[in-house]
Amino acid sequence: MQSKPIALTILDIVSIIVLGIASYLALVFAPTEAVMGDVQRVFYFHIGTAWVGLVGFVLAAVSGIAYLITKDMRWDRFEVAAVEVSTMFFFITIVLGSIWARPAWNTWWTWDPRLTTAAVTELIYIAYFMLRQGIEDPDKRARFGAVYALLGGLSAPITFMVIRLFRTIHPVVIGNQSAEAQGGFSMTPDMRTAFFFALFAFTIIFIDMMWHRIRLGGLQEKVEQLKLNVSI
Amino acid sequence: METIPDTSGYMIAGFVVSFLTMGLYVLSIYLRNKNLNQDLETLLSLETEQTKKK
């Protein structure tokens, strides 16, 4: 059995602590928004999870390039971890957005450019795992996965930029928003504290989960190799 | 004076979904890790047996 590094145990503890603090800041410390009420508090987790989700998809694309150049399976493990953890976080982003939209826009979902690109991005990465499941040869699987992650990675900057380039009802927190945007608000200093801490907290949690997932990938590879040895 | 709308139910739902999703993912990593370690032990003992027979 693999022994767990002390640094990872420390990171686990730090992750739990920062998640607790981020929750406190979002639920208690930040003031209630006057127009939307308490539902606005999900915004801190919505942005935090979106941030790590999109960064993870870009990291997966970069590791896909690194794998194609080096053919080193460690890059493949990194890529799978980045996609899996990011898909999980981005799922939270979409669900939180939908929950927020119900009282703010009076609908759970609308085919707005931002919501559409976010849904497409999530579906692209769910399909990534379906693609990998269908390929038995590890090298071929890694190669196809790398090319797919590289192309899929384009969806992350598109999703980020779409509200800054097109007419959309999705509010922009930092930067200029479209005239059609609904549900926007200006942040007070306490809201900014909760916002930036949430970004920090989810970055730490993302790194922690990535590390665990990379180790799991290493173990999977070891088991696959042993299965081949034993069957020979 | 305008009153702040009560949207706390949506807020609770949002945080429950967030913690539940993260919790389930952590659980899935733990379970996959546990199963792989069991597989590893079995395969290692099989490999040792095969080496002894040879």
Does residue A1 lie in a domain region? no
Q: How far is B11 from chain A (nearest CA, A)?
A: 4
ipTM: 0.91
Does residue A35 lie in a domain region? no
Does residue A168 lie in a domain region? yes
What's residue B12's pLDDT? 97
Does residue A34 lie in a domain region? no
Above pLDDT 70, what percent of chain A?
94
The string of pLDDT tens digits covering residues A199-221 is: 999 999 999 999 999 999 999 99
Does residue A181 lie in a domain region? no
**Domain with A198 in it:** 6-29+40-176+186-231
Q: How many domains does chain A have?
A: 1
The string of pLDDT tens digits covering residues A43-65 is: 999 999 999 999 999 999 999 99
Residue A22 near residue A225, CB atoms below 8 Å = no
**Which residues of chain B does A95 touch, with a Cβ-Cβ cutoff of 8 Å?**
14, 17, 21
Angle at A204 between CA A176 and CA A68, to 5 degrees: 85
The answer to whether residue B8 neighbours chain A at the CB level (below 8 Å) is yes
Tell which phi-psi region holds residue B3, choosing left (phi > 0), alpha (psi between -120 and 50) or beta: beta
Does residue A48 lie in a domain region? yes
Q: How confident is the model at residue A176 (pLDDT cuts 50, 70, 90)?
A: low
Least confident of A23-32, A90-99, A223-232: A223-232
Coil, strand or helix at A37: strand
Would the pTM of this model clear 0.90, i.e. be above it?
yes
